[in-house]
Amino acid sequence: MVVLGIETTCDETAAAVVERGADGRGRILSNVVLSQVNEHAAFGGVVPEIAARAHVEALDLVIGKAMAEAGQSYDTLDGIAAAAGPGLIGGVIVGLTTAKAIALVNDKPLIAVNHLEAHALTARLTEGTPFPYCLFLASGGHTQILAVRGVGDYVLLGTTMDDAIGEAFDKTAKLLGLGYPGGPLVEKEAMRGNATRFALPRPMHGRPEPDFSLSGLKTALRLEAEKVTPLGDQDVADLCASFQQAVVELIHDRLRAGLKRFKAQHGNPTALVAAGGVAANEAIRKVLSRVAFEFGIKLVAPPAELCTDNGAMIAWAGAERLALGLTDKLDAAPRARWPLEDVVGRKTLPPAPQLQRSAEPA
């Protein structure tokens, strides 16, 4: 089956076409992502109204490019998938409404995809990872540890009590005057900094419940920055390094707690899977590898372009659901909030073998 996927939940306008074979193998036929970073940079973060307007202006062109690169027409598609939430509601409405129109006009099934489920299932697209696996989902809006037991079968093991990890990186960058998006900028500064210069806390460290808390760390960073104001270049680098090291140590401790809970409740996971934009951070990838090694399991971290928001993950999640007959009516509602553990599905889909690409993602 061939599925078109549309992603508009935040500040990327994206569309992709993915093929899922009868044997469960996946192929990315196209993957087009148009970033809105320049539109939001001046504001130090995503402005919902600007994002929604940009989606309206660009989405038709992005979809057209994805279809052309894939060599497909609407007649050859088997389904239309769109992220129906969670996300900025204006953007979600744009993508879902467009998908409904395409599905209605071409008499194709609609699949209203949970954006987080798309992240959760990407490992099956890239590696054919069998269920059940432990998912570490870390992005600008989400930090969660989940047991992924099947399509539409997710158990929340741990979450953040306040800020998401990606959000904390962005706020750190804004505090230090680095710009937007903050994550890559903080990581770059941290490479030349002294991670031991500033003594920052590790909130929740050592607790048995695998939850996160970042607000205290963020406040401590601000207080340390105020002590050495005005900030020089080395001060900024050292603050970034100290902050990133604290986050890395928190992830190590919290993931160990999460995997212990996973084993106690669900048996041994087949893998530790990393998803979301934060997984592109090299220091964080290293600590993920360390945790996986300590538990004797494989780390699956999709390529960076599939960790951040993209249409291929939406199309693949749509294909996984369509293979099980899980489709949606045209009155499917857009959702600003949609917890992954509330997604309904089945857990009978066989493992998907490794991805074969006929076209490199854009």
For residue 137, give its domain range.
Answer: 133-300
Q: How far apart, in whole angstroms, are the C-alpha atoms of residue 186 and residue 172?
A: 8
51 shares its domain with 181: no
Residue 346: what pLDDT? 55
40 shares its domain with 123: yes
How does pLDDT run along the chain (362 residues), one tens digit per residue? 999 999 999 989 999 999 999 888 899 999 999 988 778 777 777 888 899 999 999 999 999 999 999 999 999 999 999 999 999 999 999 999 999 999 999 999 999 999 999 999 999 999 999 999 999 999 878 899 999 999 999 999 999 999 999 999 999 999 999 988 889 999 999 999 999 999 999 999 999 999 999 999 999 999 999 999 999 999 999 999 999 999 999 999 999 999 999 999 999 999 999 998 888 899 999 999 999 999 999 999 988 889 889 999 999 999 999 999 999 999 999 999 999 888 987 544 444 444 444 443 33
264 shares its domain with 331: no
Nearest to 178, CA basis, from 221, 227, 138: 221
146 shares its domain with 66: no
In a domain, 352, yes or no: no
102 shares its domain with 238: no
DSSP character for 242?
Answer: H
Residue 180: what pLDDT? 80
Q: Which of 266, 300, 334 is the last residue of a domain?
A: 300
In a domain, 64, yes or no: yes
165 shares its domain with 280: yes
Nearest to 274, CA basis, from 143, 108, 172, 175: 143
15 shares its domain with 151: no
Structure tokens at 158: 């741990």
In a domain, 249, yes or no: yes
Residue 62: what pLDDT? 98
In a domain, 206, yes or no: yes
Domain count, the chain: 2
Report the b/e string of 110-145 with b at 16+ CB within 10 A: bbbbbbbbbbbbbbbbbbbbebbbbbbbbbbbbbbb
Q: How far apart, in whole angstroms, are the C-alpha atoms of residue 142 and residue 302?
A: 17
CATH number at residue 229: 3.30.420.40
